[in-house]
Amino acid sequence: MVNRWNDPADEANPHRSEERQRVRDELETRLARGGVALTGSESDEQIVALADALEAFEHARARRGGDSMVNTPESSRPDDQRLVVPARRDDESVDQYIGRLREAARRLSHAF
């Protein structure tokens, strides 16, 4: 499959560039609401991968009956710490965090 997210041929099309920015903005907002910290240096591909990893975690949490409103990083009383999106460490690269988030989703799918 060809990755068309950042196709250089699209750079001449201002509508494509605006659409890509709109999608990125939506994904960044969704990630922030989901408890994923961003530094602003993430590439478009990393933003998409982070959104996919967060979605996998949220699906695994939902399958376990975890409440997305109670089990947040800001919550002082989550149902179970395993149901909270892991926080990104200050020294953690995007790819490392994506891997850790996917692993948390995998463990959650097989836990309990």
Tell me the torsion sign for CA atoms 92, 6, 21, 102: negative
Residue-wise pLDDT for 39-64, tens only, equals: 999 999 999 999 999 999 999 988 88
Nearest one of 70, 65, 33 to 51, comparing CA atoms: 33
- Contacts with 84 (C-beta within 8 Å, 6 or more apart), sequence order: 35, 71, 72, 73, 75, 78
Using pLDDT thresholds of 50, 70 and 90, give the confidence band for residue 16: confident
Residue-wise pLDDT for 79-96, tens only, equals: 677 888 999 999 999 999
Using pLDDT thresholds of 50, 70 and 90, give the confidence band for residue 17: confident
Q: Is the pLDDT of residue 9 over 70?
A: no
How far apart (Å, rounded) are the C-alpha atoms in residues 104 and 56?
Answer: 9
Q: Using a cut of 0.85, tell me whether the model's pTM lies above it.
A: no
